[in-house]
């Protein structure tokens, strides 16, 4: 797939159901009509060489102070840095690029969820997205005895989710490597990460909604579509059996590149050190410009055989013409195959949703994303629209395929999803690469 890189020129593909204002400067409505938003006073910087006192001194002389080391990519440190001399973010990035000291310097972009709430309460329980016709075809797979496996894991990079929701608790991960004792038993840097980690608030509480359910509704909705359990009540997901882990990075004021990168690294570590069969990461969010640091993290995950499934965006625009991140990233050059699946939203008639972004070469597949009922806090259900809702249908499909094809590589799972899609010349005259999601044969 040919995914164009555009640095700093993207219009935010916003929408939000569950987060508040974007950090520091923009509400979602204002952000939609302006340039991409970023964290004021911060940069992501990758040094050309190793992390040394001399390098840090050189950065300091240029008016930048390291706040934390996010990762090491190809032997070079990726830093989250604070601007100390009062210069603007874009001007400072340009100065650092010209210094010859760094591989790149870029804004710490901010992101929002890709959802539009359409109904406050669960009313009719019609899960059309699980049916045949223009839905995902999941019910046909279930009839054949294919309902998923607890040995297949997915990471939900999003808000947190209500892990004790009646339809989610059966598939919610409980970390066997780090029991609750105030110690970092698994040595990953996160103490008592029993359900995953909250990178937005840097704590182990991945659900912050309480019994009123005022927060983390978006992440909870996503989880229900991937894997709501078949328990004779509420909703059911594409998989009846799956294990999902929270990588919460969207908080009250949305999220940013640095925390998204840490979430991706967290899942790669769980797979590489503990052997968890993490097959895909669900990314129902978007915004910001091109980030080399975020792309590098996605490439690392791709090399670990983890798919990165991303919402195409809700601005109704062509992603071939104006890139939308993270769905426009392409890992082919770095990983040898493209691990990204970009997802558009379709409605009950199989047409592209009026809000959905599309792209003949940059958007891979359409999936149900209009009037999607799923779980929300607290112990209830609601209907949302958005490419946020389409994306977990595809993530659920990846997990379902992995359950019936043990040992399949990420590239093979991706090829199966796109190869099994229902062909379509166009969706409302606006094309995507691979047609509509169809998991009936999984």
Confirm whether 218 is a catalytic residue. Answer: yes
What is the 3-state secondary structure of the chain?
CCCCCCCCCCCCCCCCCCCCCCCCCCCHHHHHCCCCCEEEEEEEEEECCCCCHHHHHHHHHCCEEEEEEEEEECCEEEEEEEECCCCCHHHHHHHHHHHCCEEEEEEEEEEEECCEEEECCCCCCCCHHHCCCCCCCHHHHHHCCCCEEEEEEEEEEECCCCCCCCCCHHHECCCCCCCCCCCCCCCCCCCCCCCEEECCCCECCCCCCHHHCCCCHHHHHHHHHHHCCCCCCCCCCCCCEEEEEEEECCECCEEEHHHHHHHHHHHHHHHHHHCCCEEEEEECEECCCCCHHHHHHHHHHHHCCCEEEEECCCCCCECCCCCCCCCCCCCHHHHCCCCEEEEEEECCCCCECCCCCEECCCCCEEEECCCEEEEECCCEEEEEECHHHHHHHHHHHHHHHHHHCCCCCHHHHHHHHHHCCECCCCECCECECCCECCCCCC
Among candidate residues 388, 403, 420, 440, the one labeled active-site is 388
**Separation between Cα atoms, residue 173 and residue 171, nearest integer Å:** 6
Looking at the DSSP bridge assignments, the partners of residue 343 are 311, 365
Phi-psi region at 91: left, alpha or beta (left = phi > 0; alpha = psi -120 to 50): alpha
Among candidate residues 165, 218, 221, 240, the one labeled active-site is 218
Give the list of residues 6+ apart from residue 227 with CB closer than 8 angstroms, or none: 148, 154, 168, 171, 237, 238, 239, 240, 241, 242, 243, 244, 396, 399
**Separation between Cα atoms, residue 334 and residue 330, nearest integer Å:** 9
Among candidate residues 158, 178, 338, 364, the one labeled active-site is 158
Structure tokens at 5: 């890189």
The residues carrying an active-site annotation are 158, 218, 388
């Amino acid at each position: 797939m040919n995914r164009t890189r555009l640095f700093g020129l993207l219009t935010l593909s916003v929408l939000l159901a569950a987060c508040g204002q974007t950090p520091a400067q923009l509400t979602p409505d204002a952000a939609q009509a302006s340039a991409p938003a970023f964290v004021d006073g911060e940069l992501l910087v990758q040094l050309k060489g190793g992390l040394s006192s001399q390098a840090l001194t050189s950065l300091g002389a240029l008016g930048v102070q390291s706040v934390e080391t996010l990762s090491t990519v190809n032997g070079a440190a990726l830093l989250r840095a604070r601007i100390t001399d009062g210069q603007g973010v874009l001007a400072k990035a340009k100065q650092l690029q010209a210094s010859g000291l760094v591989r790149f310097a870029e804004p710490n972009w901010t992101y929002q969820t890709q959802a539009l709430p359409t109904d406050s309460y669960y009313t009719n329980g019609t899960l059309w997205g699980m049916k045949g016709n223009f839905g995902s075809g999941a019910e046909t797979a279930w009839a054949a005895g294919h309902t998923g496996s607890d040995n297949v894991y997915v990471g939900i990079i999003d808000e947190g989710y209500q892990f004790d929701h009646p339809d989610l608790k059966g598939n919610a991960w409980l970390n066997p490597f780090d029991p609750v004792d105030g110690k970092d038993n698994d040595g990953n840097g996160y103490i008592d990460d029993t359900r995953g980690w909250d990178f937005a608030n840097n704590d182990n509480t991945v659900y912050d909604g309480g019994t009123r359910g005022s927060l983390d509704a978006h992440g909870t909705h996503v989880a229900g579509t991937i894997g709501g359990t078949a328990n004779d009540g509420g909703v059911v997901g594409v998989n009846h059996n799956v294990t999902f882990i929270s990588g919460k990075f969207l908080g009250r004021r949305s999220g940013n590149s640095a925390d998204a990168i840490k979430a991706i690294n967290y899942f790669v570590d769980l797979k590489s050190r503990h052997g968890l069969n993490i097959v895909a990461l669900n990314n129902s969010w978007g915004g910001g410009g091109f980030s080399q640091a975020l792309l590098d993290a996605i490439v690392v995950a791709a090399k670990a055989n983890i798919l990165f499934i991303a919402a195409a965006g809700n601005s109704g625009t062509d992603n071939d013409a104006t890139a939308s991140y993270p769905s426009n990233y392409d890992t082919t050059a770095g990983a040898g195959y493209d691990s990204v699946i970009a997802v558009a939203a379709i409605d009950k008639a199989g047409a592209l949703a009026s809000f959905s972004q599309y792209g003949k070469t940059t958007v891979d597949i359409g999936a149900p994303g209009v009037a999607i009922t799923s779980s929300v806090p607290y112990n209830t259900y609601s209907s949302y629209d958005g490419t946020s809702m389409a994306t977990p249908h595809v993530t659920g499909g990846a997990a379902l395929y992995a359950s019936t094809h043990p040992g399949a590589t990420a590239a093979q799972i991706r090829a199966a999803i796109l190869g099994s899609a229902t062909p379509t010349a166009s969706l409302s005259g606006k094309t995507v690469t691979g047609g509509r999601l169809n998991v009936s044969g999984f």
